[in-house]
Amino acid sequence: MSPQTEGAEPTITKTEAKRRQMIDAALTVFVTNGYVGTSTDQLAAAAAVSKQTLYKTFGDKEGVFAALIHHAADGIRDPFAPLLDTMREAATAEEALRLLATQFTRSILNPHVQQLRRLVIAEATRFPELGLLFWERGFVRVSESVGRCLQILDERQLLAIPDLRIAVEHFAGMLLWIPSNRIMFAGAALPVTEDELDRIITAGSNAFLRAYQRD
């Protein structure tokens, strides 16, 4: 899910900057080679650090992988909080849903987010605790953030939402089922074009509106 944070990012030390550099580099290496196919030599080379620095910071390859997932999960807070005022002020449900659908879909289909998703799913059996962590701090937090936006539209009587959790699931499914899974399975061979993405956002937000519009 989109690793956006609330507020300005605090100043970090050189040590933390180097740690983040290693984590950022590790994502590409793990996605390219898989966990088993990745070596500490590759991780150190990608981050332009020595193996000694890598071991001192993370302990071993598993430590690097765990740090990567924790860092991504900790960075997700309330990604759609900036839209709450818009949800309160939008003239129509259609206007509000189109904006929410656009930002939601584009954030989830961001290549960085999709790489993380692919990596967590691929290694969920090997590291179930990390899979659960990413689910709870990533997927659940993003869903709750979307839910807060939809709840405002319900309270304003622009939508009729009897079960908010189910509505969020419908919203995500209508927008992401095809493009996200296509990226997971055949991203390089069948990329989602801008025109396709625009059609998906339009069709998904319109379908959601028809399902939850007030009589």
Asked whether residue 46 is domain-assigned, the answer is yes
**Residue 1 located in a structural domain:** no
**Is 35 inside a domain boundary?**
yes
CATH number for the domain that contains residue 36: 1.10.10.60
Domain that holds residue 29: 14-74
pTM here is 0.86
Query: Looking at the structure, do residues 99 and 57 belong to the same domain, yes or no?
Result: no
Could you please report the per-residue DSSP string of 15-49?
HHHHHHHHHHHHHHHHHHHHHHH--HHHHHHHHT-
**pLDDT score, position 188:** 78
In tens digits, the chain (215 residues) has pLDDT values of: 444 444 445 577 888 999 999 999 999 999 999 999 999 999 999 999 999 999 999 999 999 999 999 999 988 889 999 999 999 999 999 999 999 999 999 999 998 899 899 899 999 999 999 999 999 999 999 999 999 999 999 999 999 999 999 999 999 999 999 999 998 888 778 889 999 999 999 999 999 999 999 87
Q: What is the CATH number of the domain that holds 120?
A: 1.10.357.10
Q: Are 87 and 128 part of one and the same domain?
A: yes
Q: Using the 3D structure, point to which of 39, 74, 109 is the last residue of a domain.
A: 74
Residue 148 domain flag: yes
Compute the distance between CA of residue 171 and CA of residue 130 in angstroms, rounded to an integer.
Answer: 26
Domain boundary among 25, 52, 74: 74
**Residue labelled with tokens 């898989």:** 34
Name the H helices within the chain: 14-37, 40-47, 51-58, 61-74, 84-89, 93-108, 111-122, 128-134, 140-155, 164-186, 194-212
> Cβ neighbours of residue 147 under 8 Å, at least 6 residues apart?
164, 165, 167, 168
In this structure, the answer to whether residues 121 and 192 fall within a common structural domain is yes
What is the spatial distance between Cα 202 and Cα 205, in angstroms, rounded to a whole number? Answer: 5
Please give the pLDDT value at position 10.
59
Phi, psi angles (nearest 5°) of residue 15: -65, -45
Q: Is residue 102 part of a domain?
A: yes
Residues 70 and 86 occupy one common structural domain: no
